[in-house]
Amino acid sequence: MKYIDEYRDADLTRKLLADIQKIITRPWNLMEVCGGQTHSIIRSGLDRMLPSRINLIHGPGCPVCVTPLELVDKAIALASLPDVIFTSYGDMLRVPGSSRDLFAVKAAGGDVRIVYSPLDALQIAKDNPDITVIFFAIGFETTAPANAMAILQARAQGLANFAVLVSHVTVPAAITALMDSPDVQVDGFLAAGHVCTVMGFWEYEPLAEKYRIPIVVTGFEPVDILHGILDCVRNWNLAGSRCITPMLARSRTTATSPPRPSSGKSSR
């Protein structure tokens, strides 16, 4: 399949592994930020093929894992209310709150429904105009546009019964929290390409500068990830400390500065 098979090429994978082995001069603790990267690493066996001095640390990129307990408790409280339909992605239903989870609320009679998109929740609100429908909007930068679109559509369609419990987080904030930890042992980050396609990579440059670490933007296939690891090591060897490398061949976003505030006007 075009754009997939070439990034799973066995010969190229072996070459990249050999290239990494040639230039590595010290142990590395590299953190892949996104759970999708982790899944690809485990599925393809990269963690077992890399040189022993490359230690991959699985990062905070699962929105389920970084949703604050306070927000989970709020979700449980809202889902327990009468005349409320609480909608959520399925993996959030098993996340424990202080005393129970959303599955327990559902088992006790609460109307908790699994959806696959905020637009599914919007449709439920259309079908049940007399009931408040709440969507649990979790996620990193990549889920924010779809959630915002659902809110805009709800307003445009006059759906006063549609509400959103927001728990959005950002990758740079997660990296900052990790690097500010007194016992941090991360030498570099593999940032997620889909996040940078949405946001650009301008937010990562101050982090690379402040913490003097390489941050490389990668895709999700084995060749993408190995290119990222190779760039981390190579750029450290060349620059001696900080760098940020966007893999622009796989991302159409080249924004290196913050987006300008919207004027609120639209052209037709």
d(CA 7, CA 156): 42
For position 248, what pLDDT does the model report? 43
For position 5, what pLDDT does the model report? 72
Instruction: For residue 190, list its beta bridge partners.
Output: 32, 216
Decide if 112 contacts 106 (C-beta within 8 A): yes
| 5-62+171-245 and 65-168, same CATH topology | yes
Listed by start position, the domains of the chain span 5-62+171-245, 65-168
- pLDDT bucket at 202, cuts 50 / 70 / 90: confident
Task: Find, among 200, 179, 180, 197, the residue nearest to 188 by Cα.
Answer: 179
- pLDDT bucket at 267, cuts 50 / 70 / 90: very low
Task: Find, among 3, 4, 1, 10, the residue nearest to 46 by Cα.
Answer: 10
d(CA 162, CA 128): 10
pLDDT top residue among 263 and 215: 215
Long-range contacts of 255-261 (CB under 8 A, 24+ apart): 255/199, 255/200, 255/201, 255/202, 256/200, 256/201, 256/202, 256/205, 257/200, 257/202, 258/202, 258/203, 259/200
Which fold is adopted by the domain 65-168?
Answer: Rossmann fold (3.40.50)
Which fold is adopted by the domain 5-62+171-245?
Answer: Rossmann fold (3.40.50)
27-74 pLDDT tens trace: 999 999 888 899 899 999 999 999 999 999 998 777 777 888 999 999
* Residue owning tokens 């009468």: 82
